Structures are given as C-alpha cells and as structure tokens.
Amino acid sequence: MLESLVQAFKVPELRNKILFTLAILALYRLGAFIPVPGIPFNEFANAFATGGVGMTMLDLFTGGALSHFSVFSLGIMPYITAAIIMQLMQGVIPAVGRWAKEGETGRRKITQTTRYLTLGLGLINAIGYLFLFKSSQYGVVFSTEIPEIVTDIVVVVTLVVGTALIMWMGELITQRGIGNGMSLIIFTSIVSRVPAAIFSSVTLSDDTGMGIAVTVLIIVVVLLCIPAIIYVERAQRRIPVTYAKRLQGRRQMGGQSTYIPLKINAAGVIPIIFASALIYFPAQIAALFNVGWLTSFANAISAGPANWILTFILIVFFAYFYTSMVFNPEETSENIHKQGGNIPGIRPGPATTAYIRNVIRHVTLPGGIFIALIAVVPSILFYFTNNQLIQAFGGTSILIMIGVALDTMNKVEAQLKSYNYEGFFK
C-alpha cells in the first residue's frame, strides 16, 4: 500500500489531485476554528458544555466547529438532509423521478435543486442556532457594541455562507480532486475529534489509574474489528451469467461466462449518514423553535434505547432503499437479454428480474443488520461508560471512516491502473 502511494505521487496528474484534496481539507479545518463575529469565546464555551447529547453529536459531525461557533458551525448536515429529501422525492414527485432518468442533464437539475435546498435548510438552522444560544437555556450575550439586529444578521449570513463554502469545497474535491468530496469532509470532521477523545479517555479514570489501560483496550478492540468490517464491505454475491454464441459479421461473438457482482453492503456508508441525519434532525428543529418538549424529545432520541432502536431500523431501511435506487433489476435483466445472455436455470424476462430482485433482497438484509449492529453496540457502551473515545471510535464513526477510506483508495487505485501501476489491493 505504501509503495502504491509512492507510485501515485510519481504521476503528476494524480499527485496534483491528492495535493489539491489535502489543501481543500486543510482549509475546511481552518474554517472550523474561525469564529463568527461578535461571539464571546469563554461565555459561549461554558454555555455549550451544558448542552444535551443531541448537540454533542451534532458537534461530532462538524469536527468541533459548532462548539466554537465558527463559520462552519452548520457543517455538512444541511447538504446531507437536502440530499435525503431529493432521494425521497424521486419516488414521490414524478418530475424529479424523470430527472433521475434523463442522464447528465437530469443530474444537473437534481444537483442544482439540492444546492438551493441546502441553502434554505442552512438559513433555517442558522436562525435556529442564533435563537437557541440567545435563549434562557444558554444565555449567551453577543456583541453589544453594535445594534442587536445587525449582529443577528451578521451571524446568520456568516453561517449560511459557511454552509455554501463547505458545499463548494466538497464539489471541488469531487470534480478536481480524488472524488468523494462530501464523504471526505465528514471523514475529516470525525478523525479530527479522535486526539481529543483519546486524551479525554486517558484522563477519565485517572482517579483509579485505569485510564491508559481502558484507552488501549478500546483501541485494540477497534483494530480487531476493522478487518471484519472490511471483509463485509468487500464481500460479494456473484450471479453467474452465460452468453450464447452468435455471428456478428464474419466473427463469432459470445460463448463466454461472467457474473453480476452484488455487494453485501452495496449502499456503503450512505445508510449510516442518512440515518444519523434523520435522527439528529429533531435536535436541529429544537434549536430553531426552542420548545421544551421538542428539546426533550430530541435529547431522548439522541441517546438511550429510543436512539438504538431508531438507528437500527433506519440503517436497515436505508440499506434497502439506497440499494433499490442504485441497482435496477429490470434494467439489468433487459441488458442481459439484449446481449444474448441468461442466468443458468432462470428463464429470460420477468423470471430473471424476479430472481435478481430476490437475491438483492436476501443479500442486503445481512449487510444492513451487520452495519446496524456495528453502529448501535458502541452507542450502548458509550451510554453506560461516558467514554468519549467510544463515541469518537463508535460504530457510526468507524464505519464512515472505513467506508470512505476504502472508496477513496478504490478511486486512487483505478487511476493508478490507468498508468499501469499496481493498485492498493493486489
């Protein structure tokens, strides 16, 4: 792997993409520490420390930007929420469904609508955070040197612009970098919290002298789980396909056998990201309205048994939902038939479509259950131990980090092979 990484830097085009991606991610992390104008640092830090579990989890996905009330406080969550809404709308609104089938033109329409929706959600979240932190629950007093309405406008505009910048950075990485822009931003946010979590874990049990031992134990368990997660991420169910011999001009075509690879976890980390966005969306709504019962509801589903059950159900649901969005059995069956192929023992046409759909249904279930368990079990342990390292290295975090890392390495590997170099996976 290290040799392949060295080879990647020897290719000028690929080296420029990697350096460009690292530069954009560095700018993103810099923005996480640039505060919004008019924020009293110490007063806000003390007030934020009294927040609920929902705010703590939102801060995890922003890489600590929310706890500093920086220009990137809203993080990538407005974009993720907008993407979820657009995915759902494809099955609800016929016009949006037609966009998804129009190729590049339709994708541009969906992307543009997602951008506008992201800015709208960012505006709502920015106003909500402003009212929340000024409320009696937090009692933060912003700058008094200028009129209050001016300060409020500056805060809201700064947060919305920060959301637009994050979205732009993610698209730049996707278009001009190594790809996976939004996923890499989430990856960077989670990884940036690990050093502080390790320090917190070491000092948590200093009174018993077990802080270092507990920290080492957690890291060892995580390292042991990584191979199992990678194994499931790369596992496939292969459907054999045979092609009949046929004459095309003077040449004989076909006659070979191949297979359709169906991944056990075809949706990757998308179900976890979508589930997390939905579960912590009430916390964002509670920040807007600042209603007691709504805040209590947001905190209830952000941790504890309700959170575990909802997370499990939503991850399995989105595993099925996203797989059905990206893999069309009817289209696959039609393509096999057009190319003169068939699945041994299965009639062409509707029978092939039903067979493929049934295989997808059976393959997706264990993959969805596996990633749901990996996401929920560490949350249960964190609930009883309150160890920040378990939260930082929790199932959701570790699955996102591994999934994004594997996808990124696959993209770099594909570009390496185009230059006749060996990839990361031999």
Please tell me the predicted confidence (pLDDT) of residue 302: 73
Task: Kindly indicate the confidence band of residue 202, based on its pLDDT and cuts at 50, 70 and 90.
Answer: confident
Please tell me the predicted confidence (pLDDT) of residue 274: 78
Question: Which tens digits make up the pLDDT trace of 363-418?
Answer: 888 888 988 888 888 778 777 777 767 766 666 677 778 878 877 887 777 777 76
Average pLDDT over residues 226-246: 80
Domain 194-393: assigned CATH number: 1.10.3370.10
More confident residue, 278 or 19: 19
Please tell me the predicted confidence (pLDDT) of residue 164: 92
Please tell me the predicted confidence (pLDDT) of residue 371: 85
* C-alpha–C-alpha distance, residues 209 and 81, integer Å: 43
pLDDT greater than 80 at residue 201: no
Distance, first Cα to last Cα, the chain? 9
Please tell me the predicted confidence (pLDDT) of residue 117: 92
Partnered with residue 35 across adjacent β-strands are 70
> What φ, ψ does residue 33 adopt, rounded to 5°?
-115, 5
Please tell me the predicted confidence (pLDDT) of residue 24: 92
Question: Which tens digits make up the pLDDT trace of 37-83?
Answer: 877 777 777 767 665 555 666 677 777 788 778 888 888 888 888 88
In the chain, where are the structural domains located?
1-192, 194-393
* C-alpha–C-alpha distance, residues 295 and 280, integer Å: 11
Average pLDDT over residues 144-172: 86
Task: Kindly indicate the confidence band of residue 23, based on its pLDDT and cuts at 50, 70 and 90.
Answer: very high
Question: Which tens digits make up the pLDDT trace of 247-300?
Answer: 555 565 555 777 888 888 887 777 877 787 777 777 667 766 666 677 777 777
Please tell me the predicted confidence (pLDDT) of residue 259: 81
Please tell me the predicted confidence (pLDDT) of residue 246: 58
Average pLDDT over residues 146-151: 80
Residue with tokens 């390790």: 198
Helix, coil or strand: residue 33? coil
Please tell me the predicted confidence (pLDDT) of residue 13: 82
Please tell me the predicted confidence (pLDDT) of residue 119: 92
Mean pLDDT of the chain: 79
Please tell me the predicted confidence (pLDDT) of residue 165: 92
pLDDT greater than 70 at residue 1: no
Please tell me the predicted confidence (pLDDT) of residue 253: 56
Please tell me the predicted confidence (pLDDT) of residue 226: 82
CA of residue 233 relative to chain centroid, distance: 15
Task: Kindly indicate the confidence band of residue 231, based on its pLDDT and cuts at 50, 70 and 90.
Answer: confident
**Fold classification of 1-192 (topology level):** Preprotein translocase SecY subunit (1.10.3370)
More confident residue, 295 or 234: 234
Q: Are strands 236-243 and 246-248 parallel, antiparallel or unpaired?
A: unpaired
pLDDT greater than 80 at residue 208: no
| Amino acid present at 125 | N
Give the C-alpha distances (Å, rounded to integers) separating 85 from 115, 174, 301: 12, 21, 21
Residues shown for the chain: 426
The answer to whether 317 and 369 are in contact (CB under 8 A) is: no
Domains 1-192 and 194-393 share a fold: yes
Question: Which tens digits make up the pLDDT trace of 306-349?
Answer: 888 888 898 899 888 888 877 778 888 888 877 777 888 788 88
